[in-house]
Amino acid sequence: MRVAIVDDTLMAVESLRRVLIESGDYQVAWIAHNGQEAVEQCNKDTPDLILMDLVMPVMEGVEATRLIMANTPCPILIVTSSVSKYAQQVFAAMGYGALDAVNTPILSGDGSARGKSDFLSKIATIKQLSSTRDSIKSINIKNKSPTYLQTSHKSDKHLIVIGSSAGGPQALHCILSALPAAFPLPIVIVQHIDALFSDDLSKWLDKCCNLTVKIAENGDHPRPGMVLLGGTNDHLVLNKAGCMEYTADPIEEAYRPSVNIFFKSVLEHWQGNITALLLTGMGRDGAQGLLHFKERGFYTIAQDEKSCAVYGMPRAAAELNAAVDILPLDKIATRLIALGSQV
């Protein structure tokens, strides 16, 4: 796997280079010291993965991520001195398609690197997820006329469930900020995001919308006016009692938390109507779960290609014919408001 390093700090560059080479699984494709250099290098030689710093001279990491994903898209991992400190920039970069973020490993006097294990784990996960991209065929999808699925589920208990990944923070911001304070349907979200900054994401979303956004805790019940967000690296599920809980199983699942596992638990245990959404993201997580919702007569939505930062998960859903409607991002909130008015 050919990996590019984008960082203006020589010590950080050396730390990243050494950890990559010593792992034996990766080679350094090229090194850039600011975002503009990275954009130019990527035009000449697109690597398998870019390690992108956020704060740099000439052009910072968020803008570089935007330009690269628009012109020469490839997997980007944000690597910065403090993910928590730069949470806003992390979410902005993820909105443009960056896959994840991690703190820069720090070399010590004995040659070891603090944070090395977490850093290599992130890269290994991205490598695994990137390989699934090649198995998804590129297809042209035209937006059909929006329709409402007529279901046999008459209960007034109606739950909105959302799965998202790369590009998800900005997509969620767009949808949630457009919902009114009186929106009557509870919402639960599984976003592929590291537990280190899931709390920052919930606070950021909470500030921008009229509903209350919080990290889902064990025992929480979905309720109107509340948006629950998965907040650990374990899987968020709905249990038999209709409460949220976290589970480590299945351990071997590449996506943590997994949208499919969450969707499956909701299908099994929610006693009422369900609307399921699958937003921007890499890979196929959530597509099979969305199909199961549709097969049971529930209304399903996939984000359209044009508005996705990374058209992977919604594309997989479209290939399975799992979406009742394929909608642009700016139309999804309007659809949810219409559904809420029917309650």
Q: Tokens representing 53?
A: 């710093």
Residues 263, 273, 145, 184, CA torsion sign:
negative
The position carrying tokens 């279901």 is 151
Q: Which residue out of 165, 198, 202, 265 is catalytically annotated?
A: 165
198 is annotated as an active-site residue: no
Q: Which residue out of 33, 158, 192, 292 is catalytically annotated?
A: 192
Q: Is 95 exposed, middle or buried (0-12, 13-18, 19+ CB in 10 A)?
A: buried
Using left for φ > 0, alpha for ψ between -120 and 50, and beta otherwise, residue 219 falls in left
110 is annotated as an active-site residue: no
227 closest CA partner among 286, 290, 164:
164
117 closest CA partner among 96, 103, 129:
103
What letter does residue 165 receive in the DSSP assignment?
-
Q: Which residue out of 234, 285, 304, 325 is catalytically annotated?
A: 285
81 is annotated as an active-site residue: no
Residue 121 CB coordination number (10 Å): 11
Contact partners, residue 132, CB within 8 Å, separation at least 6: 282, 283, 284, 312
Compute the chain's Rg from CA coordinates. Answer: 20
88 closest CA partner among 70, 63, 62:
62
Max distance between CA atoms of the chain, in angstroms, equals 66
List active site positions: 165, 192, 285
